[in-house]
Amino acid sequence: MAVLDLKYYGNPILRKVAKPVENIDGEIVKFAEDLIRTMQVNNGIGLAANQVGRDIRIYAVDPSVIDMSEEPFVLINPQIITTEGEQSGEEGCLSFPGLFETVARPERVIVEALGVNEKPVRIERDGLMARVLLHEYDHLEGKLFIDYFGLLKKQLVNKRLQKLKAGDLEVFR
Ligand SMILES: [Zn+2]
């Protein structure tokens, strides 16, 4: 397993709409393993393919932060089937090192996808895991958590975002 390079805010791939995976071949299976490994090494609870430079519809999540008996997994070509309710909580993103802000999201989500074994999976989660599933789905649509910031919050972080864009990875630490 390899650890892949993270792509940070300012990299145009983070704004691209990712393409569906057409064939879950050996290369994709290996990529899925690398994505999970890269998420774990960086202490993330979710990581989307475009965050490591691939514009394909795959993301990894790690539910073991909530339930130790669960293992990290990837979702391929995920679809949001339904969302319900509302929650508000602190959110971060590996493409924005050190930036944490409160973001409102639905409380509950149902996602359907394919697993690496090509079998369909249906996942129903609430709370933090719903937040992660939705945050990562947004990445595949080229959407970032800063897009949910209100005008004031945007103004507060804008100068530092510009520095991050210019390559200063310490600006929010
Ligand atoms: Zn993210």
The size of the chain, in residues, is 173
Contact criterion met (CB below 8 Å) for 4 and 35 = yes
Q: How far is the CA of 117 from the centre of ligand 1 (A)?
A: 25
Q: What are the domain boundaries of the chain?
A: 12-165
Q: How many A from CA of 124 to the centre of ligand 1?
A: 20
Distance 173 CA to ligand 1 centre (A): 17
CA separation (Å) from 165 to 40, 85, 128, 158, 160?
A: 24, 34, 28, 10, 9
Cα angle: 71, vertex 15, 66; to 5 degrees: 20
| Residues flanking ion ligand 1, Cβ below 5 Å | 93
Q: Identify the bridge partners of residue 74 per DSSP, sorted by sequence position.
A: 60
| Annotated catalytic residue 136 | yes
Q: What is the mean pLDDT of residues 20-35?
A: 98
Give the span between the Cα atoms of 145 and 81, in whole angstroms. 20
36-65 confidence digits (pLDDT tens): 999 999 999 999 999 999 999 999 999 998
* pTM of the shown model: 0.97
Q: How confident is the model at residue 102 (pLDDT cuts 50, 70, 90)?
A: very high
Q: Report the CATH architecture of 12-165.
A: Alpha-Beta Complex (3.90)
Model pLDDT for residues 70-97, shown as the tens digit of each residue:
999 999 999 999 999 999 999 999 999 9
